[in-house]
Chains A and B, each alone.
Chain A
Amino acid sequence: MFSERRYDIVVIGAGLLGCFAARNLRRWKVSVALIEEREDVCTGISRANTAIIYSGYDHKPGTLKAKMTVQANARMDQLCRELDVPFSRCGSLMVSYGEKADAILKQKLHSGIQNGVPGLRLLSGPEAEQMEPALAHGVRSALYAPTAGTLNPWALGIAAFENACQNSADAFLKTTVLDISAVCGDYCVKTDRGNFLCRAVVNCAGLASDRVQKLLFPSPVSLSINAGDYLILDKTSRPMPRYILQYEPEEDDKGISVVPTVEGSLLVGPSERDGRPDYATDTEGLSFVRRQLRELLPDLRVDSVIRSFAAARPNPQRPDGSSIGSFVIEHPAHAFWSLIGIKTPGLTCADELGLYLAEKIAAELDADENTAFAPRRNGIPGVRGLEFAQRKELVQKNADYGEILCPCEEVTKAEVLEAIRRGACTVDAVKRRVGTGMGRCQGARCQQKIIAILSQELGIPESAVTKDGKGTEILYHGAS
């Protein structure tokens, strides 16, 4: 099966960064192919992270990272309106219980002011405890960042993906990039589903981004991968904090974050430990997270934990093993760009980074502006949280909006069908689009129904329905 396709630009990897690169490249008159190995987008780093939209006080003043974060944060309401993604600007409190942490907070306040983070305030212990009564007593000080917020990372990535496709970027899922070569001033991206000839390459391959660059150029930066563990607590947990809390412990350990998510659940983590990029959690890592959570929010009942998961962290290193703190944006040759191991705040800056690359490449290719670019995308309308009248209107238009498939998260059959129509072909892909199975029963009640619907809509037997791609069939196939 050999085929050759021609595009102006090939984007490798459909995580948050690849999806936003593709979206922003379509602001110019260029043809774009987005190539992704997996059967869905945002299944890598973009699926497992802390989900915080940072305010921008963490980064060294004057750096691109600092500038971009503050700018991206300011534009987040507009971006989320454009892409119809729920965003909660709940604010964050970085909490200290001792001298050492206190000093760190003061330093962050200082860099925050230099970076132009709006509204930053250093609170006294009593002030902080009054704002967030769930905190363990004895708070010494807290850094309040009113502009920090949270959103669902894969919801944002999927929205960018859909918007890129609406604007005629072509997506090639289940397609693995195997090699890249230079051919008469152009590039040839070789995949297991044929070759792509193009004028520019954008490498957003996440954990594999160093290796993808090395297919054609040397990479002065390599990634060493470590891991982190998270817990999710049910939305019925009490006391539920109002703010994003960031714990700055006195010990040398890194502190966890506690995030009241847009779905209503509580996300807690991560730990930091050695690990492989297999997204497997670790016993010690999980107990570290539980211990810090108990220290920070002693009244919160940890028996409301409904899920744990692990993240894989790409750590960019120089050949001598020293780590790199800033964004690594490689430009080894004309019209070849790599985002190598973009960690925090890559979610916050996804659209900014995409636009940054798109501008550079448009200039290199001398491309014209695409005046037909349509930045708006509509999400899948859901019934959760709707007023009665709105709900009734939806049900009158489409009877399936009355049929609740996932009682924990209140997701209807209409939403599931729409997710499948938009390309979801696994149980987890449906979950990422409409939230089925994310609640306290973790799919024990709805998974069977989703399997039946996927089988019917995709015209495949139930035994071929997978949880998250090939090899994850949910029903059993005998001794195959």
Chain B
Amino acid sequence: MEQVKLLIVGAGAAGLSAAMSAWDAGCRDILIADRSSIPGGVLPRCIHAGFGLTAFGEELCGPEYAERLLAGLVSTGVRLSLGTEVLSVSRGKTALLSCRGCVSLLHFEHLILASGCREKGIGALPVAGTRPAGIFTAGQAQEMINLRHQDLGGEVLILGSGDLGMIIARRFVLEGKHVIAVLEQADTFGGMARNYRRCIEAYQIPLRCRMTVGKIHGQGRISGVTAVHLDSGEQEFIACDTLVTALGLISERTLVQGLESSPWLSLAGNCSRVYDMVDSAVSQAQHIGREVGASLL
């Protein structure tokens, strides 16, 4: 069986930063595995500006931020295995890796999980009605529009006003689409004030608070939703051909379910908790990387 001192699952901002810090702390045997064929995690599809004010003292877009992290790793001996899914991890410190043409078992001394988040989908809500085409999660929409250059809809309704919801709303406007509204169940927008100003206010997108979606209509493609006013209970039909859900992120730790308290395991970045700012995720990951790197000497 192959051996590695430090295995890092995820080549997002957290995984790349943890690797860099562990290397700097003296660990010379590090492998990062990521299922995606491009490194950077969510960064490559975040083509908007707003990253790195704290870490680099200037405002970068996601892909630029990822490039900086990768540039730092070039002169190191950290190995990066892309297109590689880590399928399972066992108590005996063995990971099962799978990529095109190859599956392997890998024994590690320490594991840093840097697997990021997954998005909550519409299925998690008690929303009634049909399940037609034309419903996307915000992250999925971001990937399809920004990386695959696909056309997702014309009359778009967004559910949820976290950072993801507000950023994707602006994205649709910039693509020449009509964003009918962003619906939010709370009293005010959920994300950062900066994103509200830059995405919602600046593009005059209607933000409608204390509202949610109760029912989805449409047999083939979505034709509209029954929106519910949470205070009055009143219902309102809103026609749309696309619904984008930005319902929040859940830290992705399924890989280590049941193993969370193992001494050989550390969590870095968004899989430990959801960070709004990449700089904070990175600084936590660097701390973990340093500690783990030093402990493996």
Nearest CB to that of B101 among chain A residues?
Answer: A399
- B99, B215, B221: residue with the most chain A Cβ atoms closer than 10 Å: B221
Q: Kindly state whether residue A313 has any CB partner on chain B within 8 Å.
A: no
Residues of B within 8 A of A472 (CB): 132-133, 220-221
Q: Are B123 and A442 in contact (CB under 8 A)?
A: yes
Looking at B64-72, B135-143, B181-189, B200-208, the stretch in contact with chain A turns out to be B135-143
Cα distance A319–B99 in the bound complex, in angstroms? 61
Q: Are B100 and A306 in contact (CB under 8 A)?
A: no
- With A395-B103, A402-B102: A448-B35 Cβ-Cβ less than 8 Å: no
Cα distance A155–B123 in the bound complex, in angstroms? 22
Per the 8 Å Cβ criterion, residues 95-138 of B in contact with A are: 96, 98-103, 105, 118-119, 121-124, 126-134, 136-137
Residues of B within 8 A of A236 (CB): 254, 257
Nearest CB to that of B257 among chain A residues?
Answer: A236
Q: Are A305 and B133 in contact (CB under 8 A)?
A: no
Q: How many whole Å from B71's CB to the nearest CB in chain A?
A: 28
Majority SS at the chain B contact face: mixed
Q: How many whole Å from A84's CB to the nearest CB in chain B?
A: 23
- With A306-B123, A472-B133: A404-B98 Cβ-Cβ less than 8 Å: yes
Q: Kindly state whether residue B151 has any CB partner on chain A within 8 Å.
A: yes
Interface string of A399-423 (1 = CB under 8 A from B): 1101110010010110000000000
Residues of A within 8 A of B132 (CB): 467, 472
Cα distance A444–B249 in the bound complex, in angstroms? 13
Nearest CB to that of B144 among chain A residues?
Answer: A448
- With A402-B101, A448-B140: A306-B124 Cβ-Cβ less than 8 Å: yes
Q: Are B139 and A392 in contact (CB under 8 A)?
A: no
Cα distance A440–B154 in the bound complex, in angstroms? 28
Q: Kindly state whether residue B83 has any CB partner on chain A within 8 Å.
A: yes
Q: Kindly state whether residue A441 has any CB partner on chain B within 8 Å.
A: yes
Q: Kindly state whether residue B49 has any CB partner on chain A within 8 Å.
A: no
Q: Are A395 and B130 in contact (CB under 8 A)?
A: no
Residues of B within 8 A of A478 (CB): 151, 154
Looking at A5-13, A200-208, A273-281, the stretch in contact with chain B turns out to be A273-281
Interface string of A366-384 (1 = CB under 8 A from B): 0000000000000000010
Q: How many whole Å from B106's CB to the nearest CB in chain A?
A: 12
- With A448-B143, A476-B154: A471-B219 Cβ-Cβ less than 8 Å: yes
Residues of A within 8 A of B291 (CB): none
Residues of B within 8 A of A402 (CB): 98-103
Q: Are B150 and A407 in contact (CB under 8 A)?
A: no
Q: Are A308 and B105 in contact (CB under 8 A)?
A: no
Q: Are B121 and A278 in contact (CB under 8 A)?
A: no
User: Which listed residue, B83, B124, B129, B144, touches A303 by the CB 8 Å rule?
Assistant: B124
Nearest CB to that of B87 among chain A residues?
Answer: A410
Residues of B within 8 A of A471 (CB): 219-221
Q: Kindly state whether residue A2 has any CB partner on chain B within 8 Å.
A: no
What is the number of residues of chain A that contact chain B, defined by CB distance less than 8 Å? 53
Cα distance A199–B110 in the bound complex, in angstroms? 71
Q: Are A283 and B143 in contact (CB under 8 A)?
A: no
Q: Kindly state whether residue B214 has any CB partner on chain A within 8 Å.
A: yes
Nearest CB to that of A440 among chain B residues?
Answer: B118
Cα distance A395–B128 in the bound complex, in angstroms? 42
Cα distance A290–B132 in the bound complex, in angstroms? 23
Q: Are B150 and A473 in contact (CB under 8 A)?
A: no
Cα distance A278–B35 in the bound complex, in angstroms? 38
Cα distance A447–B135 in the bound complex, in angstroms? 12
Residues of A within 8 A of B35 (CB): 404, 407
What is the number of residues of chain B that contact chain A, defined by CB distance less than 8 Å? 48
Q: Are B103 and A391 in contact (CB under 8 A)?
A: yes
Q: How many whole Å from B5's CB to the nearest CB in chain A?
A: 22
Q: Kindly state whether residue A248 has any CB partner on chain B within 8 Å.
A: no
Q: Are A308 and B137 in contact (CB under 8 A)?
A: no
Residues of A within 8 A of B118 (CB): 440-441, 444-445
Residues of A within 8 A of B220 (CB): 470-472
Cα distance A104–B68 in the bound complex, in angstroms? 69
Q: How many whole Å from A362's CB to the nearest CB in chain B?
A: 40
User: Which listed residue, B103, B154, B214, touches A392 by the CB 8 Å rule?
Assistant: B103
Q: Kindly state whether residue A190 has any CB partner on chain B within 8 Å.
A: no
User: Which listed residue, A307, A395, A412, A475, touches B152 by the CB 8 Å rule?
Assistant: A475
Residues of A within 8 A of B219 (CB): 278, 471
Per the 8 Å Cβ criterion, residues 258-295 of A in contact with B are: 278-283, 285-287, 290
Q: How many whole Å from A407's CB to the nearest CB in chain B?
A: 6
Residues of A within 8 A of B241 (CB): 476
Q: Are A474 and B133 in contact (CB under 8 A)?
A: yes
Residues of A within 8 A of B148 (CB): 448
Residues of B within 8 A of A183 (CB): none
Interface string of B196-231 (1 = CB under 8 A from A): 000000000000000000110001110000000000
Nearest CB to that of B137 among chain A residues?
Answer: A444
Q: Kindly state whether residue B242 has any CB partner on chain A within 8 Å.
A: yes
Q: Are B130 and A278 in contact (CB under 8 A)?
A: yes
Q: Kindly state whether residue B50 has any CB partner on chain A within 8 Å.
A: no
Q: Are A281 and B128 in contact (CB under 8 A)?
A: yes
- A400, A407, A463: residue with the most chain B Cβ atoms closer than 10 Å: A407
Residues of A within 8 A of B134 (CB): 474, 476
Q: How many whole Å from B243's CB to the nearest CB in chain A?
A: 12
Q: Are B121 and A444 in contact (CB under 8 A)?
A: yes
Q: Kindly state whether residue A436 has any CB partner on chain B within 8 Å.
A: no
Q: Are B154 and A479 in contact (CB under 8 A)?
A: yes
- With A236-B254, A471-B221, A478-B154: A280-B128 Cβ-Cβ less than 8 Å: yes
Q: Are A279 and B123 in contact (CB under 8 A)?
A: no
- Which residues of A approach B to under 8 Å, CB–CB? 232, 236, 278-283, 285-287, 290, 303, 305-309, 383, 388, 391-392, 395, 399-400, 402-404, 407, 410, 412-413, 440-442, 444-445, 447-448, 462-463, 466-468, 470-476, 478-479
Given contact pairs A388-B103, A395-B102, A404-B35, a sample of 12 additional A-B residue pairs in the complex whose CB atoms are under 8 Å apart: A278-B219, A283-B214, A286-B128, A306-B123, A399-B100, A407-B35, A444-B136, A444-B137, A473-B133, A475-B150, A475-B152, A476-B242
Closest 5 pairs (CB-CB, A-B): A471-B220, A399-B101, A307-B123, A404-B85, A472-B133
A-B contact pairs, 13 of them (CB 8 A): A278-B130, A279-B130, A280-B129, A280-B130, A303-B124, A308-B126, A402-B101, A403-B99, A410-B87, A442-B121, A445-B118, A467-B133, A473-B221
